Amino acid sequence: MSVRKANALWNGTLKEGKGEMKFSNYTGPFSYVSRFEEGTGTNPEELVAAAHAGCYSMFLAALISGEGLNPKSVETTTKVTLGKDDKGPCVTNILLDTTVNCEGLSQEKFDELSVAAKEGCPISRLYDGGTAKIELDAKLVG
């Protein structure tokens, strides 16, 4: 299977610092303000939302196609809520809001497949049950 990578560079303190994220054809800024307030740039939770929306849409389209149907469109908006627990900041909720246009797909089959996609897409599985082994290669320089 494939291995994808992204890079983030942070310079400075949490509140005054600034960072840049890079992956594929994207390079963009992120900051304390773009993460915890309302400011220019992206943030990790927004990127999680984008990844989950894309993964879920593709997985649901695959499940619908597996039923011999041809989905015209699967559009998903994902809202990721950043909250806090006793260990600190954490993602407390992920809402997948999807709309499907597919001729011949019954409401009953749609309900079944949309839940199966929520439970089976790789990003959902990563968050709900933790399928990924997280490794660390940490270096201190300077």
Q: What pLDDT is stored for residue 20 in this prediction? A: 95
Q: What pLDDT is stored for residue 136 in this prediction? A: 58
Rounded Cα–Cα distance for residues 23 and 1 (Å): 18
Instruction: Give how far the C-alpha of residue 23 lies from the chain's centroid of Cα atoms, to the nearest Å.
Output: 14
What integer best gives the mean pLDDT of the chain?
A: 89
pTM above 0.85, yes or no: yes
- pLDDT beyond 80 at 117: yes
Q: Which of 91, 89, 92, 111 lies closest to 100 in space, CA to CA?
A: 111
pLDDT in tens, 57-116: 999 999 999 999 999 999 999 999 888 889 988 888 899 999 999 999 999 999 999 999
Report the CATH number at residue 95. 3.30.300.20
Give the model's confidence band at 138: pLDDT under 50 very low, under 70 low, under 90 confident, else very high: low
Regarding whether 35 and 61 lie in a shared domain, the answer is no
Regarding whether 54 and 27 lie in a shared domain, the answer is no
Domain membership of residue 112 as a residue range? 43-132
Regarding whether 71 and 17 lie in a shared domain, the answer is no
Q: What pLDDT is stored for residue 106 in this prediction? A: 93
Residue 119 falls within a domain, yes or no?
A: yes
Regarding whether 80 and 31 lie in a shared domain, the answer is no
CA torsion, points 112, 126, 44, 83, in degrees to nearest 10?
80
Check residue 57 and report its DSSP letter.
H
Q: Total structural domains in the chain?
A: 2
Q: Averaged over 17-24, what is the pLDDT?
A: 94
Residue 60 falls within a domain, yes or no?
A: yes
Q: What pLDDT is stored for residue 90 in this prediction? A: 85
